[in-house]
Structure 1
């Protein structure tokens, strides 16, 4: 194996070993195998380009040209041409993923779930590090300098992870760098010769260097000192490599249980082209229109974002869990629901129907009293691929109970859930006061806000707008009147608080789609955010301000007379036939742009793109699309692997053709020996080179005789070109080639067939031709200038 190929493989090993140090930062390990594959494609491209004789810049360009399609095929295949080629749509998708990934990194604590944005940033970062390591170690032959990008990659873990990455990950990264240094040492010894005093000797004419035992001893001693010194020097403190440092030794708080903020990924989930299933459930509820699954409830708004200020309790309370604010008079039916999540769905909280009174799940979980769900109490634990049971209530409050709800008795609850930042835009308070003018109680105010968002305010549902939950985003949303559930939920919650109605925002999923077997399927397009308002005696009550999404609760729909069908009720509802004029925007139409009113017709507002369970709905791509992408990638890889062999075969045919002459046949013999690991030595005459090829290739019998006769023909052609020679040089070269191939090992023959070392260098031939043409043009121009008449001398 060529020295550059060995260095390239060592660079791949070093980058992959250092990438393993990122394991404490991300939930799961599957991404590491993807990185290994992409790095192998990138490294293999560099090896092939160097075999073809490309220089450093050309090798780098080839690696970039292959890495970008490979990365696109892994991260955005649905937007790429044929699932692999990055077109404008794919580049736009990658940009959106980078933006969402940056938000995910800023909101999640380690270990963070592997969202698509984080996955893209992770793969891109490691591939760029691998490209830089390959450039420094292989192209520039400086393995020591390649340690700098590896150190930068490792520093991400040591600076972010709670335990600094641990001693195991340090040992892996250090061992990978040591492999890179030892490989470079072997290459240097092979090129410069062995040092005096080194044990062992070279193996004759094969040129194999001695084993660098001294270098290995130095590397092992250095690695051992790096591990031992931080443990024995008290002045350094616990340090980065303290193995006794506990993973859960923090000061407590929500961070110890994993920070959950799915808002940053909600827009990305809604914009995915396929509604991939994240969970399925079976329930005893007679109706599921109101059975939203809450993942987290956000109560604290600082003007920039909404967060949860509740610290989970490590010990869940005994069942049944209390329901905050619920009085005995509210109709409530007990319901049991069994939920199964898909392997690819990873969150720190369990999505549950609300209000839950009990959640039974395997593992170590803490209780979030605000969200009435369980939160992971152990690092690395998530909701992926698990089954749990939820006991909860199906509440049916009446309009009268909500309208006559007394003021909130709990002063702490009222103060906490009506708090607003001092810099809240005044347009929020003004719009809330204008929309609810004339309402007699908090319920009527909340209903007026919902009606304004869903029907009378001229708002449009659009998941492509810029996401945001802060003051500026709310003000921009009220001005543009275009957004998706995040904008509607957070804006209605802020407006409700400005009216002194306790409110918060819940994030989770709409009920999903019912299958023929009675189970329900919840997909990515069911991701949703909605406001919850507090009414004394009823508790936290859901409202649905997002037009065309989800379903409005029964207590917010127009009252219908018994026996009246939906069309009659609609005709009798004047607000349905003649939408009220928007008091905050009188010049614009208030008609529903989507033709879907969740207040009057909740059934028509289900997500039309939702799909039920089926063979294509198992969390992955459809079988046909995946097979097409795999087929395209396989064909491209096979085509790329076959190019060197095709070029080599074409050259061999031309050299061994009748009339090509002994010189061409001799060049074919030399290249065949090079392919089989017997490179020619500079300065050797044809006869001396033939003796070396025969000895190292083990030629005997007819092939050896053919080689001697071919050398005679070559010498005769060189030194006596007028002498007559037999036209059988091609047959003799074929005999020699057959003998060399038969004497080589199986793997050597395979390497010679797939990656022949003597592959023609097309770019060199092209450069030579252009140089030849340039020389001819210069000669022609010189001759033309000489023919021009010269002015006579006076």
Structure 2
């Protein structure tokens, strides 16, 4: 539409243009537009970039608790800088989404090799085929490995892709929102999402997390508020002070509510909800193998490991068990363990171990097999050595539970490996010192699920017989230790029929008589069970005692004891097992001088079946039966895999791509008239996909009335009139009018979508109603038919030539035959 030349020109205004029919003349401000936003001045761009990188690093700081070294920080910074640079370049040169995505992919492949997988590059910088392969595969695998591998994560593998991609995507998205959108304040939301993602992929420990969050919130709020109101004169000192007060009050309220919800301030991260590569519950209870060490060949014939620089009597620990399910004592630290039981993390050597260690020695594995690594005291550092050199592969597989001190190696220890150990061993305490110590109230172990009544009754009788006036802490631990040692008898079960095991039925059998008989397995288990019921922070330890005058440790040196956490002294060991020479003398040990005649015994009446716990394998808490749920889960998993493949290969993706390219072609048409009519066609196709089918050959207005019958709140009829006026009226529509018409169509489509159920909208995206597939098939068939007709005409034209050549060949053969006869 044209306007009178005499009309005064209004002052330049910012904002999107509208058609002349809706608002009069429009004057476009001569500024550099980037997408839907205006590129800010260079000084503001620099401030934005610096704050995005700085706040991005602050928000990504929780990742540092899950990685070793500083390469994770380099990856985050490089990712943020790359994202900001690509966002600014795209805004400066008006890149579209596809070109921006291509630039991100190229930058990721070129720079990511040196940052995330430097060990796969040439000279640590130049990308290779291996590094590019790791970068592509790592986009999927790195997120899983960063959660399943034990922390702290090393700088090898593809796990550094997580901080790199986090910074790259966060910096790019924040830059695009700042410089190419109408909502630059959403950049703060993006940085908050970076914080959430980093905390989710971090570790359960995060020092000063609340302080960093408050500082980031204050800086982000002040920055974004000043950015939006930088042209307004205001008292920014008052605004900053008010922001500090609001954030401080909110932070205090959040910390208070968090303390009320979780008094122990335990963080929850994603790795708490995935199965780690080392779960102690995947292995049998170490204590269940106690009796096997007492038998040959492990008893005396086989050397399990040899020790150097360790004094005689030193306790070499294999495993610490603090959970009892009525069947076995087991190592804690799995996905469902209590926080007081700790979790298994990658063993990181203390850099000050040389100054702190009170015990130094080496343990060489000879005949021992298993995942539990022999250790001493509170392990500060452990270095596996093979063939005189440090074994980095074995060191990467060492994990430790810092709460219990249990060390394990993923996949099991290797014969011939020497573990050089530096540890802290507390000095031994005498009984008088232990008796005055109280139990440590900071430890709260899970109570045993089953406590045999016979065990509780026997301990109560001992309290009466020994006149134990009652006590707690060290005094109660000493009473239990002495009671089992004085009232019990020792038997390793080799020369008699004393059964092994430490389930509830075995502990009941141990204490149902006044003369308990058993070995260290039963006595340590019984003391720990009754001790936990009486409120002691007590656990069971399986290990060996270094024999006097010898370096080789064998099965006969196996032992089990208990440890109680006492205030000011740590975990104090208690050995409740009677001496090995304190054995019960049975009445029939002496020969009977007057043997009685044998009497025929009545037939044995079948008794009740054994308890379910007797049929369970040691270390397993479930019956070995067909798991229907597991079978159903496997079938469901296969069905999901098939569904995934079918979804990836589905032609529906082609429908989405066709509709996307069609809309793009209509919106970017060179002719403003075609661009405007393309907007109407887009509206008509969308409502056709939603089920509105106008009569064939309907005009725009007739189609609009059909749409208005279903969506009466959408001005579709007005849009049809506007399109007819621009197409059939005098003059050509301007580009601004076409742009404004597209904006009106987009608004109408949003209202239509809001008035449509979600399932109908989903089906409409894949609907073929607006896809001219029938016309395409007709064109394809017509094209093939025309090609076939042209080929037929071509062969028909070649017919005379073929006949002439065939006749010439027959004439030549005839002449040759005549000449042959004449000869």
Instruction: Name the TM-score, length of structure 1 as normaliser.
Output: 0.33
Instruction: Name the TM-score, length of structure 2 as normaliser.
Output: 0.32
